[in-house]
């Protein structure tokens, strides 16, 4: 039995192109979540790189979002820009009906080579256990009906940072919580790109409303995650003129920082 | 009289291409500093974008470094990927002798539109005044002779984080200090890309040695800097397996965060 995530990230590879299908099952509003698109793009890029005797594990991915992905078919095209002894650098473009959705730089390597030894690892934040947190499945029905994503990932938010859900944002600009696949699939390396972009907008904690389209995204993957819940913290320190930057960090169940990202995105107040 | 920086970032534009010249005057070892390359690339991209009735101020720039820039001529080629009402997205590639050096995604807009109002601005770190800091011009002669960059930017490091220079790194993974052009030119928007990448490697503060090639870089520019000294803080929180991430922040003389970046780079211990 395959998982919902595996179904959503399958593709049909021919040389440097992969036929893909985006699904509103992973949507927020009419747009397909950028995280599931990046996970799919990472896997297609990995397959092309391996086919060209390059590396297969994503170490870093920088993307620009050119138009919202929509329900239906699409295609990725990958150019291997450089293939060295320790790293491969590629560029992948996702199009739907000849319209570019996402363009990304992907740096690949052998993740296990870069995962050890650990010189510096930031500690995960202190937060209540998942069962003592606020469940995404308890979101208002109108929010759930607009977001297929919310029923496919199980998010548990620290109660100390969900005041915004009842009109009392903390003003700290930080969300903390847990995340995993709702159907029990364990996380793997490339699924971290989904989890980096699956939390509610951190600007909710500042009183912002509504969806916040990503302009640029940059994520680094540091190690394969151990099985179990992932801990996520998102923060923003810089908000001005309708734009903000958001940092996300993910720790696995061993307390290892396995992924981090930064994005430039809109913010509506 | 033009400044050293203006001389180093001039170009000759023809349609979507700019003939450029890289100079080892801005080098570290044999490689031309990535920051001066990004400043030059940003200006060429801005010129192409304006010529296509797009926006002219860089808001975000994500780059992959494919091979070290060397002393001599080169060419940038810019593709405008998307031109909307509020933002333009472009891709620019820098080549020398048909070899790709740097490839970048550049998001442009009207910076003054996004600079205000300020909702959240991180406070600059507390550090001694520039005259009470350690000057880059006091670096050992062998370091100065290897780095043209070090004589063109005036860096003043907080004495609390230069122990590494005498074999006593603090282990904190943080550098703080001031920066400006040595010839007195005031900072402008696109020069912030140079200043984001001009400090010594933050891994020196952890006892690492030697040069740390950048793999991926992502920088955001938030506002035009006011005249005067810029305050810089670089930090790393994640170092493993010979790779690290480095965050840089720049505040202008009014205490406004005007730029920030994150990069994935090597680390040699």
Domains of chain B, by residue range, sit at: 1-111, 127-269
A188 within 8 A of A225, measured Cβ to Cβ: yes
Q: Is the pLDDT of residue B1 over 70?
A: no
Nearest to A64 among B105, B118, B269 (CB): B105
Residues of B in contact with A107 (CB under 8 A): 64, 215-216, 264
pLDDT recorded at residue B176: 98
SS in 3 state form for B241-265? CCEEEEEEEEECCCCCEEEEEEEEE
Closest CA to B17 of B77, B105, B106: B77
Tell me which residues of chain A, numbers 175 to 214, contact chain B at a CB-CB cutoff of 8 Å.
206
pLDDT in tens, B192-223: 999 999 999 999 999 998 778 999 999 999 99
Query: How many angstroms separate the CA atoms of A93 and B66, rounded?
Result: 18
Query: How many angstroms separate the CA atoms of A49 and B67, rounded?
Result: 19
Closest CA to A221 of A76, A62, A77, A100: A62
pLDDT in tens, B130-158: 999 999 888 878 777 778 888 899 999 99
Tell me which residues of chain B, numbers 113 to 172, contact chain A at a CB-CB cutoff of 8 Å.
113-122
Query: How many angstroms separate the CA atoms of A93 and A64, rounded?
Result: 10
> In 10 A of CB A264, how many CB atoms?
26
Could you give the C-alpha distances from B121 to A204, A212, A262, in angstroms and in order?
17, 19, 16
B203 within 8 A of B247, measured Cβ to Cβ: no
Structural tokens at position B174? 């943080």
pLDDT tens for chain A, 269 residues: list them: 689 999 999 999 999 999 999 998 998 877 899 999 999 999 999 999 999 999 999 999 999 999 999 999 999 999 999 999 999 999 999 999 999 999 999 999 999 999 999 999 999 999 999 999 999 888 878 777 778 888 899 999 999 999 998 899 999 999 999 999 999 999 999 999 999 999 999 999 999 987 789 999 999 999 999 999 999 999 999 999 999 999 999 999 999 999 999 999 998 88
Tell me the DSSP string of A249-261.
Answer: EEE-TTS-EEEEE
Nearest to A260 among B107, B119, B238 (CB): B238
A260 touches chain B (CB under 8 A): yes
Structural tokens at position A33? 């979540």
B245 touches chain A (CB under 8 A): yes
Domains A1-111 and A127-269 equal at CATH topology level: yes
Q: What is the ipTM of this complex?
A: 0.96
Three-class secondary structure of residue B50 per DSSP: helix
The DSSP call for residue A210 is S
CA torsion through residues A188, A192, A194, A199, sign? positive
Q: Which fold has domain A1-111?
A: Porin (2.40.160)
Measure the CA dihedral B182/B56/B122/B161, to 10°. Answer: -30
Q: What is the mean pLDDT of chain B?
A: 95
Structural tokens at position B264? 């994935």
Label residue A106 exposed, middle or buried (CB < 10 Å: 0-12, 13-18, 19+): buried
Name the phi and psi angles at B41, rounded to 5. -60, -40
Could you give the C-alpha distances from A144 to A29, A229, B48, in angstroms and in order?
10, 22, 44
| Record: contact B240-A269, CB cut-off 8 A | no
| DSSP-derived pairing of the beta strands A17-22 and A27-28 | unpaired
Residues of B in contact with A82 (CB under 8 A): 66-67, 100
Tell me which residues of chain B, numbers 24 to 63, contact chain A at a CB-CB cutoff of 8 Å.
59-60, 62
| Record: contact B64-A81, CB cut-off 8 A | yes
Residue of A nearest to B114 (CA): A241
A146 within 8 A of A29, measured Cβ to Cβ: yes
Q: Which residues of A159-183 are buried (b: 16+ CB within 10 A; e: fewer)?
A: eebbbbbeeebbeebbbbbbbbbbe
Three-class secondary structure of residue A21 per DSSP: strand
Closest CA to B157 of B147, B169, B146, B145: B169
Query: How many angstroms separate the CA atoms of B196 and B188, rounded?
Result: 13
The DSSP call for residue B131 is G
CA distance A252 to chain B (A): 14
pLDDT recorded at residue A100: 97
Query: How many angstroms separate the CA atoms of A15 and A51, rounded?
Result: 8
Q: Is the pLDDT of residue B74 over 80?
A: yes
pLDDT recorded at residue B42: 98
Residues of B in contact with A245 (CB under 8 A): 220, 260
Q: Per-residue pLDDT averaged across B94-123, rounded?
A: 96
pLDDT in tens, A118-131: 999 999 999 999 99
Measure the CA dihedral A169/A175/A176/A182, to 10°. Answer: 100
B190 within 8 A of B159, measured Cβ to Cβ: no
pLDDT recorded at residue B268: 82
All residues at 6 or more sequence positions from B191 whose CB lies less than 8 Å from its CB, including other chains: B5, B39, B181
Residues of B in contact with A173 (CB under 8 A): 120
The DSSP call for residue B228 is S
Query: How many angstroms separate the CA atoms of B195 and B187, rounded?
Result: 9
Q: What is the maximal distance between C-alpha atoms in chain B?
A: 53
| Record: contact A120-B91, CB cut-off 8 A | no
Answer whether the bond into residue A117 is a cis peptide, omega within 30°.
Answer: yes
Check whether domain B127-269 has CATH 1.10.10.10, yes or no: no
pLDDT recorded at residue A1: 64
Closest CA to B213 of B24, B31, B26: B31
pLDDT recorded at residue A28: 80
A165 within 8 A of A133, measured Cβ to Cβ: no
| Record: contact A64-B81, CB cut-off 8 A | yes
CA distance A145 to chain B (A): 30
pLDDT recorded at residue A33: 94
Percent of the residues in chain B that have a pLDDT greater than 90, as a whole number: 87
């Amino acid at each position: 039995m395959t998982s919902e995530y595996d179904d959503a990230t399958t593709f049909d590879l021919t040389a440097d192109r992969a036929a893909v299908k985006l699904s509103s099952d992973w949507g927020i509003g009419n747009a397909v979540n950028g995280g599931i698109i990046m996970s799919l793009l990472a896997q297609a890029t990995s397959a092309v790189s391996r086919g060209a005797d390059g590396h297969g594990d994503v170490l870093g991915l920088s993307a620009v979002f050119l138009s919202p992905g929509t329900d239906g078919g699409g295609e990725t095209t990958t150019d291997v820009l450089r293939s060295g002894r320790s790293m491969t650098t590629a560029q992948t473009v996702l199009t739907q009906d000849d319209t570019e959705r996402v363009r990304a730089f992907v740096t690949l390597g052998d993740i296990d080579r870069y995962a050890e030894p650990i010189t510096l690892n930031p500690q995960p934040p202190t937060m209540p256990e998942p069962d003592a947190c606020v469940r995404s499945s308890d979101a208002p029905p109108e929010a759930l009906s607009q977001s297929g994503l919310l029923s496919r990932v199980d998010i548990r938010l620290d109660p100390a940072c969900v005041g915004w859900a009842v009109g009392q944002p903390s003003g700290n600009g930080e969300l903390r919580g847990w995340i995993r696949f709702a159907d029990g699939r364990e996380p793997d390396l490339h699924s971290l790109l989904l989890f980096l972009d699956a939390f509610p907008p951190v600007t909710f904690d500042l009183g912002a409303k509504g969806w916040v389209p990503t302009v640029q995204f940059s994520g680094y993957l540091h190690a394969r995650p151990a099985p179990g819940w992932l801990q996520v913290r998102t923060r923003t320190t810089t908000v001005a003129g309708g734009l903000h930057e958001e940092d996300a960090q993910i720790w696995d169940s061993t307390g290892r920082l396995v992924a981090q990202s930064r994005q430039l995105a809109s913010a509506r107040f």
